[in-house]
Amino acid sequence: MLAAGEGEATFNPILPTNYDLLWSFLIFVTIVVVFQRMLLPRLQKVLDERAELIQGGISQAEKAQAEAAAALEEYTAQLREARTEAAKIREDARHEASQIVADGRERAALDAERIAETAVKQIDAERQQAVVSLRADIGSLATELASRIVGESLADDARQQRLIDGFLNELESSVKEKS
């Protein structure tokens, strides 16, 4: 056994020996060279393809966004146009409705006037018929009454008619003077 102070180097188990360092360095350099020559270009190619895909996706998204904005603008323009047209249609409908109401009122007024004229004519005709009927009834009653009062027969139709007409004319004139 050697003494600790005799000048010999002591063995440290933590530090590797020189030949272990040399071989480790050679293997490390070999791995780095293989990595740079083979794996790094493939990795770089995959990353470039991904970057292109992402860039293409972004440009497609921008294109889609531009198309959507154009479609929105077109839709907004069509909506504005439709609202304008709807307002015009409503205004035309209001005007047409007021025209229809005015025509209806005019027709109703004309119909009412025609009905009133017809009613007046009918009333006049019925009044005339009633006057004729009353004259005949009053005449026959007056003749019968006069025959009873006078005591003689008034069977002669011409005389009877003259008496009745004279009596009724006097009666009408006295009624007109009172009113």
Q: What are the sequence ranges of the domains in the chain?
A: 18-178
Q: What span, in angstroms and rounded, lies between the C-alpha atoms of 90 and 2?
A: 118
> Per-residue pLDDT for 3 more than 60?
no
Averaged pLDDT, 93-102: 94
Q: Which has more confidence, 60 or 10?
A: 60
pTM for the full model? Answer: 0.38
What pLDDT shows up at residue 45? 93
User: Each residue of 132-154: pLDDT tens digit?
Assistant: 888 778 777 777 777 767 655 55
